[in-house]
């Protein structure tokens, strides 16, 4: 009797999933690392001028720096200032800077001459800046172009705020037009009411000084609430974002940082770029 033998099927060995997933995981990790290395190199090259200044170089030559308080934010400051050579550079101050030694106020980051100063005068319907009179007269003595601004409180009467500013600020020939600083939204009124109040302040101040005021605000506030309805005014825009490096064509001033160093002033200082040179800045001052 013939025996029947059953042939066994050849055993197919499957590749280890663990091994493949291990290698794919490694490749993924290396790709992520490589991406961040390339990103760092790209950013380093893009901000090379700022890094060179930050590390104490100038014109690609080593320059000894004694100050040890340099911050990473300085890198962008130098980059932005370097991108706007020829433009008028200025600062804005208030009582928060304390007493300023105006004899020492000459350059931003020891490199860029200060051409103008915007001074806070009033806030709301009853707030007078404690350092306004001192700062206002000192800027004039330093022969810098000066301007005064009012911090607008949306929940207070607009005409009373205008009266306070007019009472406090006496503008002279060579001064910049008055500035309205609006940064916050109202709590108990509509946006339409806010815009009516802003328009009343602007009209009252223009009627007194015979010159159209300038509006200061943040870029998002400008885009969302003011750009359309106040297109007949010039704007001073604040934007500190790292990615923004140049002033927009339709901005009169750009406040690009709140963390700059200026000799004679303790702590951080706001720095502004005028969209033109010093002679063009003089052209918009009061005659």
DSSP 53-90: HHTTEETTEE---------THHHHHHHHHHHTTTS-EE
Tally Cβ neighbours within 10 Å of residue 264: 17
User: What whole-number distance in Å separates Cα of residue 159 and Cα of residue 196?
Assistant: 11
- Does the structure show a pLDDT above 70 at 157? yes
Flag the least confident range among 50-59, 194-203, 236-245, 272-281. 50-59
Q: Please state the φ and ψ torsions of residue 93, each to the nearest 5 degrees.
A: -135, 160
50 CB contacts (<8 Å, ≥6 apart)? 74, 75, 76, 77, 78, 79, 82
99 CB contacts (<8 Å, ≥6 apart)? 131, 134
- Does the structure show a pLDDT above 60 at 167? yes
User: What whole-number distance in Å separates Cα of residue 176 and Cα of residue 148?
Assistant: 8
pLDDT of residue 30: 65
Q: Please state the φ and ψ torsions of residue 284, each to the nearest 5 degrees.
A: -95, 0
Burial string for 133-157 (b: 16+ CB within 10 Å, else e) reads eebbebbbeeebbbbbbbbbbbebe
- Does the structure show a pLDDT above 70 at 101? yes
- Go through the domains of the chain in sequence order and give each one's CATH number: 19-66 (no CATH), 73-283 (3.20.20.80)
Residue-averaged pLDDT of the chain: 85
Three-state SS letters, 110-139:
CCEECCEEEEEEEECCCEECCCHHHHHHHH
- Mean pLDDT of the 97-102 span: 97
255 vs 73, which has greater pLDDT? 255
Residue pair 251/87 in contact (Cβ under 8 Å)? The answer is no
pLDDT of residue 77: 92
Flag the least confident range among 1-15, 97-111, 117-131. 1-15
pLDDT of residue 33: 76
pLDDT band at 51 (very low <50, low <70, confident <90, very high): very low
User: Token pair of 133, please?
Assistant: 């009179």
User: What whole-number distance in Å separates Cα of residue 271 and Cα of residue 256?
Assistant: 6
pLDDT of residue 74: 79
Residue owning tokens 């007493």: 99
52's enclosing H/E stretch is helix 48-54
Q: What is the pLDDT of residues 184-223, one digit of tens each?
A: 999 888 999 999 999 999 999 999 999 999 999 999 999 9
User: What whole-number distance in Å separates Cα of residue 75 and Cα of residue 83?
Assistant: 12
How large a percentage of the chain has pLDDT more than 90?
Answer: 70
pLDDT of residue 17: 52
pTM of this prediction?
0.77
pLDDT of residue 205: 98
Which residue from 42, 50, 48, 105 is spatially nearest to 74, judged by alpha carbons?
50
pLDDT of residue 243: 87
Q: What is the pLDDT of residues 21-47, one digit of tens each?
A: 555 666 666 666 766 676 656 555 555
User: Token pair of 247, please?
Assistant: 């002033």
pLDDT of residue 75: 87
User: What whole-number distance in Å separates Cα of residue 55 and Cα of residue 250?
Assistant: 34
224 vs 191, 195, 217, 220, CA distance in Å? 11, 12, 11, 6
The beta-strand segments (E) located in the chain are 57-58, 61-62, 89-93, 107-108, 112-113, 116-123, 127-128, 145-151, 179-181, 214-218, 234-238, 253-260, 269-274
- Residues forming a β-bridge with 216: 181, 236
29's enclosing H/E stretch is helix 17-46
């Amino acid at each position: 009797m013939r025996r029947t033998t059953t042939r066994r099927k050849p055993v197919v060995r499957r590749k280890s999933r663990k091994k493949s997933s291990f290698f794919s995981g490694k490749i993924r990790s290396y790709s992520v690392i490589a991406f961040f290395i390339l990103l760092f190199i790209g950013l380093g090259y893009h901000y090379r001028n700022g890094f060179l200044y930050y590390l104490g170089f100038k014109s690609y030559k080593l320059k000894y720096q004694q100050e040890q308080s340099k911050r990473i934010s300085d890198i962008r400051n130098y980059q932005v200032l370097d991108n706007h050579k020829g433009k008028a550079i200025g600062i804005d101050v208030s009582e928060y800077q304390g007493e300023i030694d105006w004899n020492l106020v000459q350059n931003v980051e020891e490199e860029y001459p200060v051409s103008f100063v915007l001074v806070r005068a009033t806030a709301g319907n009853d707030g007078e800046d404690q350092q306004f009179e001192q700062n206002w007269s000192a800027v004039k003595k330093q022969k810098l172009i000066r301007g005064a601004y009012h911090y607008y409180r949306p929940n207070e009467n607009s005409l009373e705020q205008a009266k306070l500013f007019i009472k406090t600020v006496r503008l002279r020939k060579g001064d910049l037009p008055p500035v309205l600083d609006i940064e916050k939204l109202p709590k108990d009124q509509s946006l339409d009411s806010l815009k009516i109040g802003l328009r009343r302040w602007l009209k009252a101040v223009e009627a007194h000084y015979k010159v159209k005021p300038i509006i200061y605000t943040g870029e998002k506030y400008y885009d969302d609430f003011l750009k359309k309805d106040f297109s007949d005014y010039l704007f001073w825009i604040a934007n500190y974002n790292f990615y923004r490096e140049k002033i927009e064509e339709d901005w009169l001033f750009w406040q690009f940082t709140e963390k700059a160093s200026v000799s004679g002033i303790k702590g951080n200082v706001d720095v502004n770029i005028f969209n033109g040179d010093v002679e063009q800045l003089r052209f918009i001052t009061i005659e």
